[in-house]
Amino acid sequence: MSHNTFGHLFRVTTWGESHGPALGCVVDGCPPGVKLTAADLQHWLDRRRPGTSRFVTQRAEPDAVKILSGVFEDERTGGQVTTGTPIALHIDNVDQRSKDYSEIRDVYRPGHADYVYDSKYGVRDYRGGGRSSARETAARVAAGGVARKVLAHALGHEITIRAALIQIGPDAIDRSAWDWDETERNDFWCPDASAAARWAIDLDAARKAGSSLGAIVEVTASGVPDGLGAPIYGKLDADIASALMSINAVKGVEIGAGFSAAMLSGELNADEMSMGADGRPRFASNNAGGILGGISTGQDIIARFAVKPTSSILKPRKTITADGRETEVSTKGRHDPCVGIRAAPVAEAMLACVLADHLLRHRGQNGA
């Protein structure tokens, strides 16, 4: 039994390994008539790409995406659109260095998936971590690009889905300094310029010490209509949490006020409602993170997740070999010193896929 597919009506199946010739995905269930080109998807892939700064892995992958199927350009009308058939997306791996991984062939990295892949499957692609490598997330970002197009096509307006790093290690941003434009100016998707400057020093120090740091990512969606979510076992918050938790290295997810809701009184936590001049409800706050009873309220969707510090580090760690001997491992090769940075575009993609899936599911049950 293996599970490489997520979504119900907007279904994404990813395939490929870190050091195989290529990776990609098949997006099934995309409605016909959605304008879609490879350039639309490349825009998002370029944001997740490795090697873009000294704070991410130096593996040099262009992550150039090809659309192999599911689109058609009618010469009479022009403009490439989806046909409603499966969309196969293909990304070549061009910068594998498998010899970097020979030392972990017989040794398990503590904190990584090496031991469990061996114990479960009895065969493990140790080159770059094989299927457990976050190289797989490139395919998710490509699928997320399709999802964004589906949302805009179906709703007739763009939904703004964006992620920001709000903490690296113990150092959190000052939320009063939040500036979305700043996320595009620094190497961390950080909305607070002074936190970004501190993080550069912290991460350089961690990297030079052969260590790594964890992070917290916040991902939001604005312009989401009310009514998305399928109670009871297809709640929107449950599906978002599942999608984010499926990202490599994620150890905790929260929606809206999340764990801090436990510290609020009922009157402070409840998002008070009033009537807007346009006849639409207004909420005085958004502790719910845009979801009540598993259904979107029309407010911004807000989710947050924590990623653990990268487990492949130079600092030697005690471990065992595949044949049961105790030893130490020091992981060389090219690794992200903080995986939160490149996880931000992946989070956006996962949220886009969940929203596209739920929009189609909503229409399937409720009509327009």
Ligand X SMILES: Cc1cc2nc3c(=O)[nH]c(=O)nc-3n(C[C@H](O)[C@H](O)[C@H](O)COP(=O)(O)O)c2cc1C
Would you say 27 or 134 has its CB closer to ligand X? Answer: 134
**232 cis-preceded (ω within 30 degrees of 0):** yes
Report, in Å, the least distance between residue 137 CB and ligand X.
5
343-361 as b/e: b if 16+ CB within 10 A? bbbbbbbbbbbbbbbbbbb
Task: Tell me which residues touch ligand X (CB under 6 A).
Answer: 57, 112-113, 132-134, 137, 247-249, 310-312, 335-336, 339, 342-343, 346
Would you say 255 or 343 has its CB closer to ligand X? Answer: 343
Cβ proximity of 86 and 62 under 8 Å? no
State the Cα–Cα distance between residues 335 and 50, nearest whole angstrom.
10
Minimum distance, C-beta of residue 47 to ligand X, in the bound complex (Å): 11
55 Cβ neighbours under 8 A, 6+ residues apart: 187, 188, 200, 203, 207, 337, 338, 341
- φ/ψ of 236, rounded to 5, equals -60, -45
Residue bearing tokens 């010739």: 21
Residue whose CB is less far from ligand X, 26 or 141: 141
Nearer to ligand X, 241 or 339 (CB): 339
Please state the closest distance from residue 337 (CB atom) to ligand X, in A. Answer: 8
Residue 104, CB half-sphere, CA atoms under 13 Å: how many? 30
CA distance 179 to 161: 15
User: Which of 297, 331 has the CB closer to ligand X?
Assistant: 331
Pair of tokens at residue 26 = 């098949």
Q: Which is nearer to ligand X, 148 or 207 (CB)?
A: 207
CB of 5 to ligand X, least distance (A): 18
Distance CA 19, CA 24 (A): 13
Residue whose CB is less far from ligand X, 95 or 226: 95
Alpha-carbon distance of 134 to 278, in angstroms, equals 45
Rounded to the nearest whole angstrom, what is the least distance from the CB of residue 207 to ligand X in the complex? 12
Are the CB atoms for 301 and 224 separated by under 8 Å?
Answer: yes
Q: Report in angstroms how near the CB of residue 131 gets to ligand X at its nearest.
A: 9
Residues β-bridged to residue 89: 25, 67
User: Residue 35 or residue 105: which is nearer to ligand X going by CB?
Assistant: 105
Cβ closer to ligand X: 82 or 310? 310
Tell me how far apart the alpha carbons of residues 347 and 217 are, in angstroms, rounded to a whole number: 8
Shortest Å, Cβ 362 to ligand X: 29
Distance between CA atoms of 83 and 31, rounded to whole angstroms? 7
In angstroms, give the least distance from the CB of 57 to ligand X.
Answer: 5
In whole angstroms, the minimum distance from the beta carbon of 212 to ligand X comes to 8
